[in-house]
Amino acid sequence: MKILAFGASTSCNSINRQLAYHAASTLAAAFDGKCSIDLLDLNDFEMPIFSVDREREIGIPPQAKAFMARIERADAIIASFAEHNGTYTAAFKNILDWASRIDIDVYQNKPALFLSASAGDQGAASVLATAVDSAPYMGADLRGSLSVGPWDVTFDAELATFSDGSMRQRLRESLAALVAPATRKA
Query: Cβ of 67: how many Cβ atoms within 10 Å?
Result: 23
CA contacts within 13 A on the Cβ side of 12: 0
Cβ within 8 Å of residue 139, ≥6 positions away: 103, 104, 105, 106, 107, 108, 109
pLDDT in tens, the chain (186 residues): 999 999 999 999 999 999 999 999 999 998 887 899 999 999 999 999 999 999 999 999 999 999 999 999 999 999 999 999 999 999 999 999 999 999 999 999 999 999 999 999 999 999 999 999 999 999 999 999 999 999 999 999 889 899 989 999 999 999 999 999 866 554
pLDDT of residue 186: 44
| pTM assigned to the model | 0.95
Instruction: Tell me the domain boundaries of the chain.
Output: 2-179
Rounded CA separation 115/93 (Å): 16
Residue type, 157: A
Query: Cβ of 44: how many Cβ atoms within 10 Å?
Result: 11
The fold for domain 2-179 equals Rossmann fold (3.40.50)
pLDDT of residue 185: 53
Is residue 114 classed as helix, strand or coil in its secondary structure?
strand
Query: Cβ of 92: how many Cβ atoms within 10 Å?
Result: 24
Query: Cβ of 85: how many Cβ atoms within 10 Å?
Result: 9
Cβ within 8 Å of residue 8, ≥6 positions away: 16, 42, 79, 80, 81, 82, 88, 89, 91, 92
